[in-house]
């Protein structure tokens, strides 16, 4: 069975990705801290296929914790790494410049630097998978709001725009080893928790070509497609119902 890592996998889109990819991969799942949702997901997947799932916990803003995570993940070939975890928080443009710089640093650390760091650390395992089976890939979950800014979420949008360049740059850098690097850029598919909604559902559906919001499963389908698209690298695949048009 092929092996995949998914970050931020305990709930929401991450958990849907885990259910979907588990059909074809044994899973190394990451979450920030142990949660009941992680246990429930473990039991569900373990029932389908025993000993096919393993949890790892790490604060992605912490460089030491990331190094520990990479060590814990071991050295076995890794066919797919999905970077789904993200920090999504409104910017506070009324805060002091120093506070805003700190906020930008944090969102970049979680959404950009941690992905860069783990891609570099996992590169030998991905290259091993290429030697074993001919293909391995990275899929980074980005956002429609990496190509135009979400009002009130400036730092988050900056991190997503930089993520698109990370994907292209790593695709170029890792390409000769056969490691592909792509992204999925969803529109809104699930409302964020604990923050004021930046847009109403009506605003979203009216500005979406297909006339409705997407589902987490739409993101999972796109990830699964990119994981098997053997001659595709360096792209960001929109999953936004045509909202960007």
Ligand X SMILES: NC(=O)c1ccc[n+]([C@@H]2O[C@H](COP(=O)([O-])OP(=O)(O)OC[C@H]3O[C@@H](n4cnc5c(N)ncnc54)[C@H](OP(=O)(O)O)[C@@H]3O)[C@@H](O)[C@H]2O)c1
Q: Which residues here bind ligand X, judged by CB under 6 A?
A: 8, 10-14, 31-33, 35, 59-61, 84-88, 110, 141, 143, 186, 188-190, 192
Q: Considering the complex, state which of residue 168 and residue 177 has its C-beta at the smaller distance from ligand X.
A: 168
Tokens describing residue 27: 């899973």
Answer left, alpha or beta for residue 95, where phi above 0 means left and psi between -120 and 50 means alpha: beta
Query: What is the C-alpha to C-alpha distance for residues 146 and 142, in angstroms, rounded to an integer?
Result: 7
Q: Is the dihedral of CA 87, 122, 223, 57 positive or negative?
A: negative
Catalytic residue among 25, 57, 156, 225: 156
Query: What is the C-alpha to C-alpha distance for residues 215 and 221, in angstroms, rounded to an integer?
Result: 10
Helix and strand element counts for the chain (H, E): 8, 7
CB count in 10 Å sphere of residue 227? 24
Query: What is the C-alpha to C-alpha distance for residues 146 and 64, in angstroms, rounded to an integer?
Result: 28
Query: What is the C-alpha to C-alpha distance for residues 220 and 216, in angstroms, rounded to an integer?
Result: 6
Distances (CA, A) of 113 to 46, 107, 119: 32, 9, 10
Asked if 156 is an active-site residue, the reply is yes
Q: How distant is the alpha carbon of residue 80 from its chain centre?
A: 12
Q: How distant is the alpha carbon of residue 69 from its chain centre?
A: 16
Task: Give the side-chain half-sphere CA count within 13 A for 19.
Answer: 16
Query: What is the C-alpha to C-alpha distance for residues 188 and 11, in angstroms, rounded to an integer?
Result: 16
> Which residues are part of the catalytic machinery?
156
């Amino acid at each position: 069975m092929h092996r995949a890592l998914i970050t931020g996998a305990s709930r929401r889109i991450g958990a849907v990705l885990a259910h979907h990819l588990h059909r074809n991969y044994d899973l190394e799942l990451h979450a920030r801290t142990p949660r009941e949702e992680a246990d429930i997901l473990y039991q569900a997947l373990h029932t389908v296929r025993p000993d096919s799932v393993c949890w790892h916990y790490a604060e992605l803003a912490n460089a030491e914790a990331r190094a520990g995570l990479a060590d814990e993940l071991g050295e076995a070939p890794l066919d797919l790494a999905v970077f789904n975890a993200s920090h999504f928080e409104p910017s506070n443009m009324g805060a002091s410049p120093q506070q805003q710089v700190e906020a930008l640093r944090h969102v970049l650390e979680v959404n950009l630097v941690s992905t860069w760091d783990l891609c570099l650390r996992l590169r030998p395992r991905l290259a091993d998978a290429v030697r074993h089976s001919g293909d391995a890939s990275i899929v980074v979950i980005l956002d429609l709001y990496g190509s135009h800014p979400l009002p009130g979420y400036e730092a988050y949008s900056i991190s997503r725009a930089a993520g698109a360049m990370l994907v292209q740059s790593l695709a170029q850098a890792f390409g000769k080893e056969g490691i592909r690097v792509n992204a999925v850029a969803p529109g809104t598919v699930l409302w964020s928790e604990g923050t004021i909604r930046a847009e109403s559902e009506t605003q979203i559906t009216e500005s979406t070509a297909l006339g409705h919001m997407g589902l987490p499963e739409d993101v999972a389908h796109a990830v699964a497609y990119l994981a098997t698209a053997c001659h595709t690298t360096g792209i960001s695949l929109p999953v936004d119902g045509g909202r960007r048009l």
